């Protein structure tokens, strides 16, 4: 992860340049994000951390093309998505961005396999046989091949989240975005889901970006972005068992190290 800098060994999968987001709420203008500049490298396991209302979910929605910035530019894999139409953004999401939600968002009338297949139906170049192969492959990766005919109400919370992970991966996205994916899970199940996503990140080199205040997710990450009051406060890079923290441009320079607990 680099902040406002060119170069480096990894390709920048997300580049955010001077992005701000403003809403009008109750007749007043709310500044959800303020002048965010950030590069996210391909293949990282990154946590966007901050308290409730800090702007982390807003930033995740902008990266996921669910929302558009009030000012500034966002590039995904080098492509400027800041001024695309809603139809163009929907097409981009369908082809290159996977989503994992804290409430799973599975369709209750569909089986696990049908839920994973659902986003593939939008890929018109893919035939039924290829869809079946891909569904089986990703359900196997998350350890649920034997549950493929079960509906969500027949699965545990952890199993439903695994189906959601398989669904996010099925389109073979450039980025998987996860909004508080452990919030509705007990500690043991949450730990297992974090380890599963970390393993997928290592094996498939898929970029994972989390919006979270869960310390377990932060500890598992290899990059952190800390946001407070809509502003970027600190950038963290893991080196072994230590974190190196760097202030973004415009803030006090210098770095500190912190041992991972």
148 domain residue, yes or no? yes
DSSP H or E stretch at residue 34: strand 28-41
In a domain, 21, yes or no: no
Q: Residue 39 pLDDT more than 60?
A: yes
Cα(78)–Cα(67) distance, integer angstroms: 18
Q: Check residue 27 and give its pLDDT.
A: 84
**CA 29, 50, 165: angle at the middle one, nearest 5?**
105
Q: Which strand ranges, in their side-by-side order, compose the sheet holding 79-80? A: 28-41, 12-25, 71-76, 79-80
Comparing CA positions, the residue from 139, 141, 137, 138 lying closest to residue 149 is 139
* pLDDT number for residue 59: 95
Mean pLDDT confidence for 31-37: 95
75-90 in b/e burial notation, b at 16+ Cβ within 10 A? bbeeeebbebeeeebe
* Strand pairing class (12-25; 71-76): antiparallel
Which is higher by pLDDT, 248 or 167?
Answer: 167
pLDDT of 215-226, one tens digit each? 999 999 999 999
What's the CA gap between 2 and 49, in Å, rounded?
A: 17
pLDDT value for 11: 74
The answer to whether the CB of 76 falls within 8 A of the CB of 92 is yes
DSSP letter (8 states) at residue 8: -
Considering its fold, how many domains does the chain have in total?
1
26 found inside a domain = no
Residue 122: give its domain's CATH number: 3.40.50.300
Q: Is residue 92 part of a domain?
A: yes
Look at residue 36 and tell me if it is in a domain: no
Does 65 map to a domain? no
- Determine, yes or no, domain membership for 191: yes
Please give the helix or strand (H or E) that residue 191 lies within, else none: helix 187-204
pLDDT digits (tens, 9 = 90+) for 4-27: 443 445 678 999 999 999 988 888
Domain that holds residue 251: 42-60+83-259
Q: Distance (Å, rounded) from C-alpha 198 to C-alpha 26?
A: 41
- Residue 188 resides in a domain: yes
């Amino acid at each position: 992860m680099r902040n406002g800098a060119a170069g480096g060994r990894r390709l920048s999968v997300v580049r955010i340049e001077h992005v701000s987001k403003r809403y009008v709420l109750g007749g007043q203008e709310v500044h959800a994000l303020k002048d965010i500049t950030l590069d996210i490298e391909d293949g990282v396991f990154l946590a966007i951390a901050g308290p409730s209302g800090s702007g982390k979910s807003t930033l995740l929605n902008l990266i996921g093309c669910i929302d558009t910035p009030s000012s500034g530019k966002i590039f995904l894999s080098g492509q400027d998505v800041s001024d695309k139409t809603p139809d163009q953004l929907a097409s981009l999401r369908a082809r290159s961005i996977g989503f994992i939600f804290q409430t799973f968002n599975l369709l209750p009338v569909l089986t696990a396999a049908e839920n994973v297949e659902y986003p593939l139906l939008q890929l018109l170049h893919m035939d039924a046989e290829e869809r079946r192969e891909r569904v089986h492959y990703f359900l196997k990766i998350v350890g649920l091949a034997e549950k493929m005919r079960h509906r969500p109400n027949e699965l545990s919370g952890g199993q439903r989240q695994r189906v959601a992970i398989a669904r996010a991966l099925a389109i073979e996205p450039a980025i998987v975005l996860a909004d508080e994916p452990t919030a509705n899970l007990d500690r043991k199940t949450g730990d297992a889901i974090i380890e599963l996503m970390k393993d997928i990140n290592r094996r498939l080199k898929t970029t994972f970006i989390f919006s979270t205040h869960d310390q377990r997710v932060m500890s598992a990450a290899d990059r952190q972005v800390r946001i407070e009051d809509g502003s970027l406060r600190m950038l963290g890079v893991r080196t072994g068992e230590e974190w190196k923290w760097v202030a973004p441009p415009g803030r006090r320079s210098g770095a500190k190290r912190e041992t991972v607990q």
